[in-house]
């Protein structure tokens, strides 16, 4: 009988109605899936899925049935707006296919956040991007009118300074406001004239009746209506963030500043009276304890998650290296800055580095809930969420030795003072290269620096990375589409003659850095490289023959959604500062002149967004910190699925390669070569003071594949101009013929500290 039912189900499915092509694409994008991921799951070609979404072709059995089920599940998670095409109904799929309902609200999948660790920077890159996809959506929308009825603890102070509309709470994924979070993602709590006030986004101010920290936590969860909708279907909403000013710390029994011992420990002592009060009220802290970014929670019961994030600026929660002067802002202005960041990136979960990493997880949660088809009860699904890095970290002893940093457990049997060379260690880092000026360059008037916008974010865009463990292969055939690490000799690549497209071009290879090493030195033998680096050697026209590799066969464009979110945040905020994506090169340079002074608060947001990119990528290979760790022993960061040094290496590799490709194009066309490079900044010796004096624009169009002025990630801006005499004088002063002038080109300031002396 079951065979008959299956036959009937298949017959119904073969005639059922699928949503229109535009809705298919919307559903896929809403869940953060790429076309490649859908194609892989359905075992069809990428072009096939693309055809289904464009309406050029229609799916046929048996793929049609599986595709219908996928769309049905996504339609449950992301209902179409009322004015959009009708979503796929349950009747449109076979009866044996039960749609999975939205999981996040039903059952939180953890009772607390992953432990935080130190900020670590990384590198950036590349491709030209368009204006933000969400520019017309929530982040820039003006806040709606305040409800006429509010809790008794709420008021709008008539004298309060109203924040800019950019700080309005982000909308729910469905496009409808989530009333649970109607007051925004966060509040800055301050004390004025003995009265406790909570400054929210959009100029809203709430009266806070709480007289103790534990009652403040209760008020936040029960009355404040703070929080942020989830960023992806399988995810969960962000916990409310409470920022305590120095006055609020004093009011609630916390120290205004930390002692030196507490700063080193990163927390106040466990025996502090406030912690004891929280414990008596059944509140708990994460393993990080009560520090600048503290999380206070109770274990979840069913769908009832109780967790509040605290941020204490006077404890250096808002590090000036990344948040500029945010910690010194008045409460209303600080609420605007943090609220804008939360709406456009996400509610901060810690430092910008921690938030960058948390954004990856929020967009691709490792776990998700499913409904049991027999009982109808939601439960955590077996296995990881497709497209994520999984819920379980890779066992430390399963890591490829070449990919891990010194001190990792997999290297514990190495001799104590052994130094790994290129043939033992993957060393993909950003450029730090410089060379002496030629006689001709010494006759030029100026050194002009170009800086690549959001370079590392752009390098992550479209990058295929491994989603699982690596497989060891001997004498593999190189596959540029396969992420991994390759042991290969690239010393034969000669930059004097390379392929640029289909044509061979002659260059002065001695004036270009090698694309294969951070210091620009030509390799001398076999070394480990990430896939983008080896692929570039082949692109330049040279054979590559790896002798060994660690490759990953489960792949995906894991960072695409992360890049898009940060790109949109960057471009929307730059537009607030008067720098739009459609400006001419001349207008762009003019708009960039003093842009941070037009709105210093939004300039802080820009700094934080950039730091989120670099810090998030850096934490993919977080090193041990603090006392008590012994080389060869595991450290805390290894316990999370997002400890992925291979992904960090691939992004940095692609960033460096993309910059080198632009330099080759520029040299082949103009005969000009870089004299210094630091990460994403490249310096040329030229006549003139502006990039327009030497970049080859024709009728407003840049050299294809070369440097292009503009605000989009991967395009370049003017970093600074100094005279050639300044550069030569600096090198003479410090007796360093190859002093990296890119480090100082912005303002010309050169100090002993900068040079490590």
Answer yes or no: do 21 and 145 share one domain.
no
* Domain assignment of residue 524, yes or no: yes
Q: Which of 513, 535, 556 is at the close of a domain?
A: 556
User: Average of pLDDT values for 640-654?
Assistant: 97
Answer yes or no: do 81 and 147 share one domain.
no
CATH number of the domain where residue 71 is located: 1.10.260.40
pLDDT of residue 108: 30
Q: In this structure, what DSSP letter does residue 385 have?
A: P
Answer yes or no: do 213 and 82 share one domain.
no
Answer yes or no: do 143 and 87 share one domain.
no
Which range scores top for mean pLDDT: 13-22, 102-111, 494-503, 516-525? Answer: 516-525
Q: Which domain holds residue 77?
A: 2-92
- Nearest alpha carbon to residue 743 among 694, 687, 683: 683
Assign 420 a pLDDT band (cuts: 50, 70, 90).
very high
| Residue owning tokens 């059922």 | 16
* Domain assignment of residue 106, yes or no: no
Is 50 exceeded by the pLDDT of residue 577?
yes
Answer yes or no: do 155 and 294 share one domain.
yes
Residue 422 has phi, psi (to 5 degrees) of: -60, -30
* Domain assignment of residue 508, yes or no: yes
Assign 50 a pLDDT band (cuts: 50, 70, 90).
confident
Q: Which of 308, 327, 349 is at the close of a domain?
A: 349
Q: Dihedral of CA 220/221/223/227: which sign?
A: positive
Residue 606 has phi, psi (to 5 degrees) of: -60, -45
The angle that helices 645-670 and 531-539 make with each other, rounded to 10 degrees, is 20
pLDDT of residue 51: 80
pLDDT per position as a tens digit, 233-290: 888 899 999 999 999 999 999 999 999 999 999 999 999 999 999 999 999 999 899 9
Answer yes or no: do 234 and 161 share one domain.
yes
pLDDT per position as a tens digit, 592-628: 999 999 999 999 999 999 999 999 999 999 999 866 8
Answer yes or no: do 79 and 151 share one domain.
no
Is 50 exceeded by the pLDDT of residue 127?
no
Strand 241-244 and strand 186-192: pairing? parallel
Q: How far apart are the C-alpha atoms of 639 and 729, rounded to whole Å?
A: 50
Assign 110 a pLDDT band (cuts: 50, 70, 90).
very low
Q: How far apart are the C-alpha atoms of 23 and 29, rounded to whole Å?
A: 10
CA 476 to chain centre: 32
Is 90 exceeded by the pLDDT of residue 356?
yes
Q: Which of 524, 556, 588 is at the close of a domain?
A: 556
Answer yes or no: do 210 and 319 share one domain.
yes
Is 70 exceeded by the pLDDT of residue 81?
no
* Domain assignment of residue 45, yes or no: yes
Assign 138 a pLDDT band (cuts: 50, 70, 90).
very low
Assign 92 a pLDDT band (cuts: 50, 70, 90).
very low
Is 50 exceeded by the pLDDT of residue 179?
yes
- Nearest alpha carbon to residue 339 among 557, 185, 119, 511: 185
Could you tell me where the beta strands, DSSP code E, fall in 317-401? 369-371, 378-380
Which range scores top for mean pLDDT: 27-31, 390-394, 481-485? Answer: 481-485
Answer yes or no: do 165 and 222 share one domain.
yes
Is 80 exceeded by the pLDDT of residue 526?
yes
* Domain assignment of residue 675, yes or no: no
Query: Which one is predicted more confidently, 152 or 646?
Result: 646
pLDDT per position as a tens digit, 709-725: 999 999 999 999 999 99
* Domain assignment of residue 663, yes or no: no
Q: Mean pLDDT score of the chain, rounded to an integer?
A: 85
Answer yes or no: do 168 and 238 share one domain.
yes
Is 90 exceeded by the pLDDT of residue 392?
no
Q: Dihedral of CA 342/296/236/111: which sign?
A: positive
Residue 588, helix vs strand vs coil: helix
pLDDT of residue 148: 32
Residue 639 has phi, psi (to 5 degrees) of: -85, 5
Q: Are 278 and 285 in contact (CB under 8 A)?
A: yes
Least confident among 264-268, 380-384, 497-501, 547-551? 380-384
pLDDT of residue 166: 39
User: What share of the chain has pLDDT > 70, as a percent?
Assistant: 81
The string of DSSP codes covering 43-64 is T--HHHHHHHHHTS----TTHH
Assign 545 a pLDDT band (cuts: 50, 70, 90).
very high
* Domain assignment of residue 414, yes or no: no
Is 70 exceeded by the pLDDT of residue 489?
yes
Strand 284-285 and strand 293-301: pairing? antiparallel
pLDDT of residue 456: 98
User: Average of pLDDT values for 299-309?
Assistant: 80
pLDDT of residue 4: 61
Q: How far apart are the C-alpha atoms of 681 and 121, rounded to whole Å?
A: 16
* Domain assignment of residue 651, yes or no: no
Answer yes or no: do 210 and 329 share one domain.
yes
Answer yes or no: do 69 and 167 share one domain.
no
pLDDT of residue 245: 98
Contacts of 4 (CB under 8 A, 6+ apart): none
CA 210 to chain centre: 36
pLDDT of residue 16: 61
- Nearest alpha carbon to residue 388 among 744, 31, 729: 31
Peptide bond between residue 62 and the one before it cis (omega within 30 degrees of 0): yes
Is 60 exceeded by the pLDDT of residue 163?
no
pLDDT of residue 87: 37
Give how many domains the chain has, as a whole number: 3
């Amino acid at each position: 009988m079951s065979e008959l039912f299956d036959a009937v189900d298949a017959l119904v499915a073969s005639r059922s109605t699928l949503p229109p092509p535009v809705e298919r694409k919307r559903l896929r994008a809403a869940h953060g899936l790429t076309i490649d991921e859908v194609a892989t799951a359905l075992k069809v070609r990428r072009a096939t899925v693309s055809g289904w979404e464009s309406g050029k072709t229609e799916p046929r059995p048996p793929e049609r049935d599986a595709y219908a089920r996928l769309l049905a599940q996504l339609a449950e998670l992301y209902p179409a707006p009322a004015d959009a095409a009708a979503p796929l109904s349950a009747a449109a799929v076979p009866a044996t296919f039960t749609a999975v309902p939205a999981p996040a609200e039903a059952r939180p999948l953890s009772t607390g956040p992953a432990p935080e660790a130190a900020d670590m920077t990384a590198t950036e890159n590349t491709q030209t991007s368009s204006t933000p996809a969400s520019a017309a959506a929530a982040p820039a929308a003006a806040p709606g009118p305040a409800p006429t009825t509010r809790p008794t603890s709420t008021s709008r102070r008539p004298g309060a300074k109203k924040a800019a509309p950019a700080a309005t709470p982000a909308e729910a994924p469905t496009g409808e406001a989530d009333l649970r979070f109607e007051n925004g993602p966060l509040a800055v709590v301050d004390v004025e004239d003995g009265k406790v006030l909570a400054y929210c986004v959009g100029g809203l101010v709430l009266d806070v009746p709480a007289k103790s920290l534990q009652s403040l936590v209760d008020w936040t969860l029960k009355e404040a209506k703070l929080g942020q909708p989830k960023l992806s279907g399988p995810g969960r909403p962000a916990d409310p963030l409470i920022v305590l000013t120095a006055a609020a710390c004093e009011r609630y029994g916390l120290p205004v500043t930390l002692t030196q011992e507490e700063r080193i420990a990163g927390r106040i002592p466990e025996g502090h009276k406030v912690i004891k009060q929280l414990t008596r009220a059944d509140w708990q802290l994460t393993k990080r304890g009560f520090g600048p970014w503290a999380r206070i929670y109770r274990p979840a019961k069913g769908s009832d998650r109780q967790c509040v994030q605290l941020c204490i600026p006077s404890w250096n929660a808002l590090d000036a290296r990344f948040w500029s002067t945010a910690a010194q802002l008045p409460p209303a202005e600080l609420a605007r800055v943090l609220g804008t960041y939360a709406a456009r990136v996400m509610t901060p979960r810690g430092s910008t580095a921690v938030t960058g990493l948390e954004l990856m997880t929020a967009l691709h949660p490792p776990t998700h809930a499913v409904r049991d088809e027999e009982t109808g009860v939601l439960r955590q699904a077996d296995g990881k969420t497709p497209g994520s890095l999984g819920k379980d970290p890779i066992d430390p002893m399963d890591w490829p030795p070449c990919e891990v940093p010194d001190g990792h457990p997999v290297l514990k049997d190495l001799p104590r003072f052994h130094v790994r060379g290129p043939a033992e260690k993957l060393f993909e880092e950003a450029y730090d290269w410089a060379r002496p000026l030629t006689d001709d360059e010494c006759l030029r008037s100026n050194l002009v620096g170009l800086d690549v916008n959001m370079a590392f974010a752009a390098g992550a865009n479209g990058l295929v990375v491994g989603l699982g463990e690596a497989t060891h292969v001997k004498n593999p055939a190189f596959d540029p589409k396969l992420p991994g690490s390759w042991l290969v000799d690239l010393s034969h690549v000669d930059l004097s003659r390379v392929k640029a497209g289909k044509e061979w071009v002659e260059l002065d290879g001695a004036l270009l850095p090698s694309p294969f090493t951070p210091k620009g030195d030509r390799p001398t033998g076999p070394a480990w490289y990430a896939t983008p680096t080896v692929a570039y050697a082949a692109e330049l026209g040279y054979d590559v023959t790896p002798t060994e590799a660690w490759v990953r066969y489960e792949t995906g464009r894991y960072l695409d959604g992360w890049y898009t979110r940060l790109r949109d945040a960057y471009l929307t905020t730059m537009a607030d500062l008067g720098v739009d994506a459609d400006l001419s090169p001349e207008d762009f340079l003019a708009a960039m002149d003093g842009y941070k002074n037009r709105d210093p608060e939004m300039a802080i947001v820009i700094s934080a967004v950039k730091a989120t990119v670099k810090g998030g990528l850096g934490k993919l290979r977080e090193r041990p910190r603090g006392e008590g760790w012994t080389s060869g022993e595991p450290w805390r960061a290894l316990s999370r699925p997002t400890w992925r040094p291979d992904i960090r290496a691939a992004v940095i590799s692609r960033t460096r390669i993309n910059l080198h490709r632009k330099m080759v194009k520029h040299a082949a066309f103009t005969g000009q070569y870089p004299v210094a490079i630091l990460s994403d900044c490249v310096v040329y010796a030229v006549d003139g003071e502006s990039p327009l004096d030497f970049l080859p624009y024709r009728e407003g169009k840049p050299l294809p594949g070369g440097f292009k002025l503009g605000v989009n990630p991967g395009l370049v801006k003017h970093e600074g101009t100094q005279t050639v005499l300044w550069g030569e004088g600096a090198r003479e002063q410090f007796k360093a013929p190859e002093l990296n002038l890119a480090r100082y080109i912005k303002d010309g300031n050169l100090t002993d500290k900068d040079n490590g002396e």
